[in-house]
Amino acid sequence: MPLSKKRSAAAESTELVKRAKKDSCNDDPMSACSSSSTAWAWDGDSQVSPSSTQTMSNQVPSLAHPAPVFKGTAVVDGEFKEISLEDYKGKYLVLFFYPLDFTFVCPTEIIAFSERAKEFRKIGCEVVACSTDSHFSHLAWTNTPRKDGGLGEMNIPLLADKSMTIARSYGVLKEDEGLAFRGLFIIDRKQTLRQVTINDLPVGRDVDETLRLVQAFQFVDEHGEVCPAGWKPGAKTMKADPTGSKEYFKSEN
């Protein structure tokens, strides 16, 4: 590579890292860390509107209610792209939050979900990862080799929430540190919230269990029967009434 091109690439990489390290609370007068907003908040990275039944008070949204609406800049296939909850209407969506880019447990989770993205798409489900880092930080992380703790090529979007409004609206913001707990939300085709799990920072999540839950909710949507503990596709389900449930219990005991 010519020396001029090497210098240009190095300068670009340095600029990405610098921009990734910016403190959004100092840069952004509309940042959610300096004010409590109940309307649209926008900082160039993320935008959230509370649904008709939810507020932006850092409380976990209610199951069986509309998922909080969001919009923001994501890294998709190495490019910056605006994405929103509306983009996923008619599909299932797994939205999961993680604490920080360039950390330790986080890349293991993100890579695991990315490597299984095709399995989710086969059943009409998309996966989006989100943190309070900037989209520049996300891009720099994807440009870092996995052997060095980076993500490498990604099959899922990395959504930037530098203003912390999305994490706050989903009730996973660790206010004193400005980062998100490991929240995971399953949102159905009608954009209703069907499942919530939130882990403390040190422990990662299980992709197999997430996939199983999506499959179970989809089965219920289609067939109207309910899924017992540990249900997997092909296993027996039961009708949600006294007579129907007895048929299941007799067959299993």
Asked about 106 being catalytic, the answer comes back as yes
The catalytically annotated residue of 106, 125, 130, 227 is 106
Q: Angle 145-209-87 (CA atoms, 0-180°, nearest 5)?
A: 70
- The HSE-up count of residue 114 (CA atoms within 13 Å, CB side) is 19
C-alpha dihedral, 65 to 160 to 143 to 9, nearest 10°: 160
Catalytic (active-site) positions: 106
